Amino acid sequence: MSRSAIFEGVKVADFTWAAAGPIITKQLADNGATVIKIESTRHPDSVRLGGPFKDGVRGINRSGFFADFNSSKLGIAIDMNHARAAEVVLPLARWADVVADSFRPRVMDKWGFGYRRLSEINPAVIMVSSSLYGDTGPWSTHPGFGAQGQAIAGFHGLTGWPDRPPAVPKGAYTDSVSPRFGMAALAAALIHRERTGQGQHIELAQVDTGVMFLSAEIIKLQAGGGETVRAGNADPRALLHAVLPCKGEDRWIAVELWSHEQWHACMETLAARGQPSAVLADPAAARHAPGAVEHAVGELTSQWDAFELTDALRQAGVPAGACLRGGDLLADPVLRERGHFWPLAHPEMGTLDYNGPAYRFEHTPSRLGAAAPCLGADTDDVLGQVLGFASGQIGELRDCGVLA
């Protein structure tokens, strides 16, 4: 890692799995921390078992999702249910500045590695525990994933069209929301420890972070503005706020018109490929017949290539953007120019482009150091070089089944 990496020297024992937890620890790893990911061949990270798989070939080390969430980490295999797991886990906890987990509450306690135990052997340790419902409350021990979290947090009630069932936001939405809060909390705890030497336990509830994203809707309801309901792509404040069809299979463009100037600029641009209907002559029509207006504009946009129309509308001062697919993102010149993607070589999947950080540090640049680890690939190196275990001790632990 670069000597100037902002988290260089921070040591992390990463027991997280799936998405919400690993995204937190990825931010540390990509910015210089030594992050050791702990899983097991008997209970691997569940994301390893789900696609997309490289070349469509299933394999424990071929998951694209796992790869993206775990760059720059080291990987070791420990059977956490083994009676002698503590012989490895407790030395890891003594070594670590941060211990992260994303199990249901009390799972780490069941194994004997809850915060109280770990803080006894390492008072300065910071433990961040991410779960769907948090450590307290009647649902704290219930199983669940982000798909349930986003429903309980209120997102389903806002996504979709009013005459149809709620539409599920892409993926497990709270898995993407909560790590941003978790990383901020962890950074604050590291600053507090630097000042005081004191470690602490951070409890992170995915549902709570999701609710915070809907703060405006909650305030609006309390202030007497009524409850926000599903409205598709529309925004009642705009003259047009829509995703519209373009030429080609499943090609679309997002367009927003907020002023009469933008309205007329949009209609003049679209008139180059077709005559706008009478309903589009007056911007006031957007207020009285929004469905008819969206349909009429969509008939015009369907005559255009999405990327050509994006350029034309932007030149006219109209907010617009083609709806990009995965292949479009990988080829996008803006992302390439910004250095968003990092090519990293993986033992089984070859060289793939990984998402880099969305932020840019002026003096402490981020650096993706390595592709995601194969399951248990770094076990011997971590135990020997990081924790100081003798080779015979490592072999004995492997023979008895701890390292599996």
Q: Note if 14 is an active site residue.
A: no
Query: Which residue among 30, 97, 175, 378 is the active-site one?
Result: 175
| 231 within 8 A of 160, measured Cβ to Cβ | no
d(Cα 1, Cα 77) in Å, to the nearest integer?
23
Is 372 in contact with 346 (CB distance < 8 Å)? yes
| Residues near 20 by beta carbon (within 8 Å), at least 6 away in sequence | 102, 130, 146, 174, 175, 178, 179, 182, 206
CA distance 14 to 116: 17
Q: What is the 3-state secondary structure (H, E, C) of the chain?
A: CCCCCCCCCCEEEEECCCCHHHHHHHHHHCCCCEEEEEECCCCCCHHHHCCCEHHHCCCCCCEHHHHHHCCCCEEEECCCCCCCCHHHHHHHHHHCCEEEECCCCCHHHHHCCCHHHHHHHCCCCEEEEEECCCCCCCCCCCCCCHHHHHHHCCCCCCCCCCCCCCCCCCCCHHHHHHHHHHHHHHHHHHHHHHHHCCCCEEEEEHHHHHHHHCHHHHHHHHCCCCCCCCCCCCCCCCCEEEEEECCCCCCEEEEEECCHHHHHHHHHHHCCCCCCCHHHCCCCHHHHCHHHHHHHHHHHHCCCCHHHHHHHHHHCCCCEEECCCHHHHHHCHHHHHCCCEEEEEECCCEEEEEECCCCCCCCCCCCCCCCCCCCCCCHHHHHHHHCCCCHHHHHHHHHCCCCC
Any idea what the Cα angle at residue 25 is, between residues 74 and 382, rounded to 5°?
20
So which residues are the catalytic ones? 175
